[in-house]
Amino acid sequence: MEAVFAITLGVLTASGVYLVLRARIFPVVMGLTLISYAVNLFIFSMGRLGTGVPAVIGKSAEYGDPLPQALVLTAIVIGFAMTAFVVVLALRGMGELKTDHVDGEEPRA
């Protein structure tokens, strides 16, 4: 299970970095979103991957750690707000510069 999780994190991070380096507005936003998802999964995995373990309340020797879950929930909300802000900022930049290139200039061929 840990190998599949590590491969998933690697694929998400690599895809996010590739999209950020594309230098167009939509791929950059999607790349930042994928990197955000990868970081969220990484933080979630810090609470140990366990299936069928109860929450903190109970008489079990092992329990699910609520701190990484709370951090990921907070990060999801903040990530959604930042994605909305970046999309609005990108749309305004496209409206003013008339191009979807990140630095505002079309690449010379």
Q: For the domain that residue 43 is a member of, what is the CATH number?
A: 1.10.287
76 found inside a domain: yes
39 found inside a domain: yes
107: its two tokens: 């690449």
105 found inside a domain: no
Place of tokens 């140990």: 48
Which residues, 6+ apart, have CB-to-CB distance to 2 below 8 Å? 49
**13 or 59: which carries more pLDDT confidence?**
13
CB 100 within 8 A of CB 29: no
- Residue pLDDT, tens place only, 35-77: 999 999 998 888 776 666 666 666 666 666 778 888 889 999 9
CB-count exposure of residue 53 (10 Å: 0-12, 13-18, 19+): middle
DSSP single-letter state for residue 106: P
Q: What is the extent of the structural domain holding 32? A: 2-48+64-97
Handedness of CA 69, 72, 76, 78 (dihedral sign): positive
33 found inside a domain: yes
pLDDT at position 71 is: 87
8 found inside a domain: yes
The CA distance from 101 to 26, in Å, is 9
Q: Which of 3-7, 11-15, 37-41, 75-79 has the highest mean pLDDT?
A: 11-15
Domain count along the chain? 1
Place of tokens 């109860």: 54
Q: pTM higher than 0.85, yes or no? A: no
